[in-house]
Amino acid sequence: MTFFNQVGKLALGTRIRLLSEKIGQDAAEIYQVYGNDLQPKWFPVFYILSIKGEGSVTSIAEEIGHSHASVSKIITEMSAAGLIIEKTDTSDRRRTKVSLSKKGQKISQKIESQYKDVNDAIEEILSQTTHNLWAAMEEWEYLLDQKSLRDRVLEIKKKRESMDVKIVPYQAKYKEAFYKLNEEWISKYFKMEKPDRDALENPKEYIIDNGGHIFVAIIDNEPVGVCALMKRDDLDCYELAKMAVSPKAQGKSIGFMLGNAVIEKAKELKASRVFLESNTILKPAIRLYEKLGFKKIVGPPTPYERCNIQMELRLP
């Protein structure tokens, strides 16, 4: 076990697989000792059929939590071993039902003593352990059903990578990045319009000199995201606009960080609400805005052809 002591919980899957293989090998030998012609991997299907009498591939798969393909393969193997009978479902001739053959039923009748002895042996092991493996497995299964290990790792990855991101105020040296990052996504989905060019070609004059602000996301001194807070004619209203994140930097919560920076600045400026315009084709962007607290509204006429949704965040 030196390897597992060195690598720790990173080898969780490997360790569980080795334990499973060890138990599976013992199980195969136990079937032989009791003279029951079964393979360990057949047990779930065999058990369900011995209890319920018959079933379809689909119903058995749902019952034991296996895939349809896995159950179909097991049934084929058990049929070849003479343990299963397949017949057409009288209520639906497109479907096949399976049941235990006479050989399978005979094993089902004499396997009860094996079940009892195996259960008693497992209870003995559980009584000798500090941690109840069966209870722990139930907990792990429940938690992984709520959120998979993959999703948990990706969340931690995103959080770690977001720590490398710095959100800084706009400077003249970021003018080109402000233009290119926005032009990239606008041109991908739509076309550049006059309001785009006004803001992107002259960010200082059009946005900052009019009481707005621009934030830039930096990774390793490279601008990878931008977002503007533009002053609207309403005295207490600002607009979140021109948010763009480089494709190579997506998945690091940069959009969320930029959005939060804009919202915090709006609060600092005593704004009562932040407004935005977008298009529902941009589903990730809409989800981001909803996560930030924006809700759909019917706002004033828009200068953008591409706009088909307006949203607003009320500030405390």
Cα of 267 vs its chain's centroid, Å: 33
CA dihedral 138, 143, 145, 150 (to 10 degrees): -130
* CATH 3.40.30.10 fits domain 2-154: no
Contacts of 70 (CB under 8 A, 6+ apart): 61
Least confident of 158-162, 177-181, 204-208, 300-304: 158-162
Q: In the prediction, which pLDDT does 93 show?
A: 65
Q: Is 8 left (phi over 0), alpha (psi -120 to 50) or beta?
A: left
Q: In the prediction, which pLDDT does 313 show?
A: 98
pLDDT digits (tens, 9 = 90+) for 140-151: 999 999 999 999
φ and ψ of 24, to 5 deg: -65, -40
8-state DSSP, 232: -
CA dihedral 121, 127, 129, 135 (to 10 degrees): 90
Q: In the prediction, which pLDDT does 128 show?
A: 95
* CATH 3.40.630.30 fits domain 161-314: yes
Q: In the prediction, which pLDDT does 5 show?
A: 83
Average confidence score pLDDT of the chain: 93
Locate the domains of the chain by residue range.
2-154, 161-314
pLDDT digits (tens, 9 = 90+) for 171-184: 999 999 999 999 99
Strand partners for 295: 312
Residue 161 has pLDDT above 90, yes or no: no
pLDDT digits (tens, 9 = 90+) for 65-95: 999 999 999 999 999 999 999 887 766 667 7
pLDDT digits (tens, 9 = 90+) for 290-303: 999 999 999 889 99
φ and ψ of 56, to 5 deg: -90, 165
8 A C-beta contact, residue 182 and residue 244: yes
Q: In the prediction, which pLDDT does 1 show?
A: 63
